[in-house]
Amino acid sequence: MKRALAFAPLIVLALLVAVSAFLLTRGGERATVTDGLVGRAAPAFVLDRLGGGEPVTAEALRGRSYLINIFASYCTPCLAEHPLLMELRAQGVTIVGVAHRDEPADAAQFLARLGDPFSAVGLDPDGRFALELGAAGMPETFVVGADGTIRAVHRGALTPEIIAEKMMPALGGG
């Protein structure tokens, strides 16, 4: 009897591992963390503008669809997606950049070197706005509809497929 009790914790652990493996590998559609963001109102924001001037605000964008892109000069995936953001800007997509926990001089140099795809860049030095938005890292891109609700979210670097299949339809352009 004592011998069986000695193996009980090991048996319980094995059962937990088996159940976890089953739940993680089963087929079917799974909800993601970002699914809960879609359909909710985007937070109102007033961010200091990179380079000075009038603040970047949600109010100034009211009534039109736009992207919010969380980026930083030190973010390698942000560098990888940058040409795609430039293409979106060339297509007339309004993109608000949010320099997340970045030094303003570094963000400005990053954009000067690679080109500026943003209609405005707001500063988020402490990461507070990114948290309010529901961001978990960088880069992240949010589609905000003309009604002010979040229509789509992508965590990680954008790809042509993600833009075509997810972002453009949410913007109303696909």
Half-sphere exposure of 147 (CA within 13 A, CB side): 9
Rg (CA), the chain: 21
Q: Which domains can be identified in the chain, with CATH numbers?
A: 31-171 (3.40.30.10)
Query: pLDDT tens across 74-133, in order?
Result: 999 999 999 999 999 999 999 999 999 999 999 999 999 999 999 999 999 999 999 999
Cα 154 to Cα 41: distance, rounded to the nearest angstrom: 16
What's the mean pLDDT when you consider all of the chain?
Answer: 88
Query: pLDDT tens across 50-77, in order?
Result: 999 999 999 999 999 999 999 999 999 9
Q: Where are the alpha helices (DSSP H) in the chain?
A: 2-25, 76-90, 104-114, 128-133, 160-162, 168-171
Longest CA span, the chain? 77
Cα 166 to Cα 172: distance, rounded to the nearest angstrom: 10
Q: What average pLDDT score do residues 134-149 get?
A: 95
